[in-house]
Amino acid sequence: MAYSGPMTDPVDIERLRRIGWRGDAEAGPGRLARVVAQHRAGYELHDGDLLFNAQPAGAFLKRGLDPSLRPAVGDFVLLSGDTHPVIETVLPRRTLLVRAAAGERYERQVIAANIDYVLVLMGLDDDYVLPPNYNEAYHLTGDGVVVDVVRHLARHLLEPLLGLGEPAREAA
Query: In the chain, what are the domain boundaries?
Result: 10-113, 132-171
Indicate the average pLDDT of the chain.
79
- We find that the CATH architecture of domain 10-113 is Beta Barrel (2.40)
Rounded-to-integer distance, Cα 16 and Cα 77, Å = 12
pTM above 0.75, yes or no: no
Contact assessment for residue 79 and residue 54, using Cβ atoms and an 8 Å cutoff: yes
Exposed, middle or buried by CB within 10 Å (0-12, 13-18, 19+), for 42?
middle
Give the model confidence (pLDDT) of 119-141 as tens digits: 776 666 777 766 666 655 555 44
